[in-house]
């Protein structure tokens, strides 16, 4: 059971380069996106506003950034006209750069994005009748080497920053035109009307520049009719290997005064980083999905090599202990269906046995394996998948088969990959064998 706990992570493990909190810009301005509200307040105070003003402005600016989605300080109509250039001289409102946007025949959309320091990563939007799901990346590449996953063949370049993670959600809202339509300016808006007297110094001028309340919500914006309703941390990377940044980004996504997405509509998927799972439940509180993919040690060791460090039993126990898991909030077990590898009726029965043994409030998502060039696996046949699903269902767990989406643009699960290559375990073994023979 715990006998594998002391092993190091197998495969090629690159050190995780620490991502910068704020990308320094040549012009010295600071990107506000990704910063917690208290940090915005600190920066405003450091730039010269008195404490009270800094607090108020931070609240107003935060609302404009995350609730209204503006990318220009000039659009912040309840901020005094004279203050907008002051903000623009010191701060920017960033978005990830879009390198390419693709549209699948099934409506799925994929964006290739670039960080300010030139690394590419991807995000995917998957609409269906009842919801619109954004699949968000947490890292450029991945340190883990799951053998069926295209991202696993990439080198980890670096962790994404909170701004780059929440920036994906902002960009999706931009692309879907989902920011609340501008409220008509109320008489107290347009800052100058409420500015008191001449602006003697920046700090004091801005302290008195606003009406006390910034309640400009005179429009409706509810979940109804939204295109983007759900977020899954299932893009590139292992989110629990970038825990702090993912937590900070999701905190912004959930902030009621901003993007305001409920934690119930956010799912974080992990390949099974047990030591971070409890903190994930406690500090983020989102739904958990676990990439199980195998119910026997040899098979899961191959498919998800992290299994050699954190084995199946310990993983299931950590799931049973996941804070907030209940029958109303079940844990999702992802199970990729690979021909002849993990798809037998016996495997299905073993899966049911394990889920019962740990008394897990569970549902199982069966994902037909999505092929990619050079993958050594094939997808299970449809009636094999049906039989597997039926056994799990009869065992008392919902086991829907996920329809692959966006395969034509390589946007489906496990197909995401940008340029950073890493050698596969098999390739390294082959090279080592060849070198030994020579
Ligand atoms: N690193 C995290 C989240 C990203 S992967 C994790 O592994 O959970 C998102 C999901 O896609 C995981 O369940 C992953 O196992 C699955 N996946 C990866 N490659 C796949 C492929 N080729 N076909 C189908 N699903 C795949
Ligand atoms: Fe990384 Fe997840 Fe792909 Fe495994 S399945 S290589 S953890 S992204």
Predicted confidence (pLDDT) per residue in 165-207, tens digit:
999 999 999 999 999 876 533 333 333 333 333 333 323 222 2
Report strand pairing: 109-114 vs 120-127. Answer: antiparallel
Nearest to 293 by CA among 344, 248, 246, 334: 334
Ligand 1 neighbourhood includes 304 CB (under 6 angstroms):
no
Ligand nearest to the CA of 240: 1
Q: Cα separation of 57 and 51, whole Å? A: 10
Distance 186 CA to ligand 2 centre (A): 50
What is the DSSP code (8-state) at residue 344? Answer: S
Tally of CA atoms within 13 A in the half-sphere of 81 that contains its CB = 6
Give me the pLDDT at residue 8, please.
41
Nearest to 172 by CA among 245, 261, 239, 244: 261
Distance 411 CA to ligand 1 centre (A): 12
Q: Cα separation of 121 and 20, whole Å? A: 17
Q: Which residues are catalytic?
A: 122, 413
Distance 144 CA to ligand 2 centre (A): 6
Ligand 1 neighbourhood includes 269 CB (under 6 angstroms):
yes
The string of pLDDT tens digits covering residues 53-81 is 999 999 999 999 999 999 999 999 999 99
Confirm if 308 and 4 have CB atoms less than 8 A apart. Answer: yes
- Cβ within 8 Å of residue 113, ≥6 positions away: 96, 97, 98, 99, 120, 121, 122, 123, 168, 171
- Packing angle between helix 345-357 and helix 382-394, nearest 10 degrees? 30
Tokens standing for residue 23: 């990308």
Residue 29: inside a domain: no
Ligand 1 neighbourhood includes 414 CB (under 6 angstroms):
yes
Q: Cα separation of 374 and 129, whole Å? A: 34
Residue 364: inside a domain: yes
Distance 335 CA to ligand 1 centre (A): 9
Q: Which ligand 2 atom minimizes the distance to the CA of 238?
A: 7
Q: Is 184 exposed, middle or buried (0-12, 13-18, 19+ CB in 10 A)?
A: exposed
Q: Which domain holds residue 375?
A: 97-177+224-437
Residue 64: inside a domain: no
Distances in whole angstroms, Cα of residue 413 to Cα of each of 34, 123, 232, 265, 269: 26, 11, 11, 19, 12
Q: Which residue's CA lies nearest to atom 19 of ligand 1?
A: 414
Test site for ligand 1: of 372, 376, 414, most ligand atoms within 8 A of the Cβ: 414
How many CB atoms are located within 10 Å of the residue 27 CB? 7
Give me the pLDDT at residue 6, please.
39
Task: For residue 21, give the H/E element and its range.
Answer: none
Test site for ligand 2: of 141, 291, 365, most ligand atoms within 8 A of the Cβ: 291
Residue 191: inside a domain: no
Ligand nearest to the CA of 412: 1
Residue 201: inside a domain: no
Confirm if 117 and 213 have CB atoms less than 8 A apart. Answer: no
Confirm if 342 and 335 have CB atoms less than 8 A apart. Answer: yes
Domain count, the chain: 1
pTM: 0.84
Ligand nearest to the CA of 410: 1
Residue 195: inside a domain: no
Residue 5: inside a domain: no
Distance 430 CA to ligand 1 centre (A): 25
Which CATH number goes with the domain that contains 124? 3.20.20.70
Q: Cα separation of 272 and 334, whole Å? A: 11
- pLDDT tens across the length of the chain (438 residues): 333 333 344 444 444 555 444 457 889 999 999 999 999 999 999 999 999 999 999 999 999 999 999 999 999 999 999 999 999 999 999 999 999 999 999 999 999 999 988 899 999 999 988 899 999 999 998 989 899 998 888 888 889 999 999 999 999 999 999 998 765 333 333 333 333 333 333 232 222 222 222 233 333 334 456 799 999 999 999 999 999 999 999 999 999 999 999 999 999 999 999 999 999 999 999 999 999 999 999 999 999 999 999 999 999 999 999 998 999 899 999 999 999 999 999 999 999 999 999 999 999 999 999 988 889 999 999 999 999 999 999 999 999 999 888 888 888 777 777 655 655 545 555 566 666 666
Residue 240: inside a domain: yes
Helices (H), 131-282: 162-175, 202-207, 243-254, 274-279
The string of pLDDT tens digits covering residues 324-370 is 899 989 999 999 999 999 999 999 999 999 999 999 999 999 999 99
Give me the pLDDT at residue 34, please.
96
Give me the pLDDT at residue 432, please.
61
Alpha carbon 274 to chain centroid, angstroms: 18
Q: Cα separation of 346 and 269, whole Å? A: 26
b/e string for 405-425 if b means 16 or more Cβ within 10 A? bbbebbbbbbbbbbeeebebb
Distance 10 CA to ligand 2 centre (A): 13
Ligand 2 lining (C-beta closer than 6 Å): 142, 144, 146, 149, 151-152, 237-238, 271, 291
Tally of CA atoms within 13 A in the half-sphere of 428 that contains its CB = 10
Confirm if 227 and 127 have CB atoms less than 8 A apart. Answer: yes
Tokens standing for residue 269: 């998927």
What is the DSSP code (8-state) at residue 362? Answer: E
């Amino acid at each position: 059971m715990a006998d594998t706990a002391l092993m190091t992570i197998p495969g090629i493990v690159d050190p995780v380069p620490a991502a910068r909190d704020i990308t320094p810009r040549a012009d010295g301005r600071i990107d506000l996106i990704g910063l917690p509200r208290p940090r915005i307040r600190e920066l405003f105070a450091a730039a010269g506003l008195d404490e009270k003003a800094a607090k108020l402005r931070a609240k107003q600016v935060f609302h404009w950034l995350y609730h209204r989605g503006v990318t220009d300080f000039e659009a912040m109509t309840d901020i005094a006209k004279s203050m907008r250039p002051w903000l623009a001289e010191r701060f920017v409102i960033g978005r990830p750069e879009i390198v390419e946007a693709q549209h699948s025949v099934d409506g799925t959309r994929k964006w290739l994005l670039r960080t300010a320091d030139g690394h590419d990563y991807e995000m995917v939007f998957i609409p269906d009748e009842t919801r619109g799901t954004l699949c968000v990346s947490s890292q450029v590449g991945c340190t883990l080497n799951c053998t069926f996953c295209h991202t696993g063949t990439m080198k980890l370049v670096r962790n994404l920053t909170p701004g780059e993670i929440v920036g994906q959600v902002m960009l999706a809202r931009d692309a879907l035109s989902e920011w609340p339509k501008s409220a008509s300016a109320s008489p107290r808006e347009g800052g100058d009307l409420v500015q008191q007297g001449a602006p003697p110094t920046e700090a004091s001028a801005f302290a008195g520049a606003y009406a006390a309340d910034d309640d400009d919500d005179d429009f409706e914006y509810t979940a109804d009719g939204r295109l983007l309703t759900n977020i899954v941390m299932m893009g590139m990377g292992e989110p629990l290997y970038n825990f702090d940044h993912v937590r900070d980004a999701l905190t912004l996504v959930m902030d009621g005064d901003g993007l305001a997405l409920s934690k119930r509509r956010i799912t974080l998927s992990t390949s099974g980083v047990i030591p971070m799972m409890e903190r994930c439940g406690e500090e983020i509180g989102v739904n958990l999905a676990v990439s199980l993919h195998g119910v026997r040690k040899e098979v899961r060791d191959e498919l998800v090599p992290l299994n050699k460090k954190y084995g199946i039993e310990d993983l299931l126990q950590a799931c049973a202990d996941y804070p907030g898991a209940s029958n109303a909030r079940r844990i999702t077990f992802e199970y990729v269906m690979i021909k002849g590898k993990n798809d037998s009726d016996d495997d299905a029965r073993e899966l049911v046995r394990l889920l019962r043994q740990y008394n897990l409030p569970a549902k199982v998502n069966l994902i037909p394996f999505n092929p990619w060039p050079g993958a050594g696996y094939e997808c299970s046949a449809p009636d094999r998948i049906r039989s597997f699903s039926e056994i799990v269902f009869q065992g008392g767990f919902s086991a829907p088969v996920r329809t692959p989406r966006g395969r034509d643009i390589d946007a489906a699960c496990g197909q995401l990959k940008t340029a950073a290559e890493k050698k596969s375990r098999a390739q390294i073994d082959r090279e080592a064998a060849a070198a030994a023979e020579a």
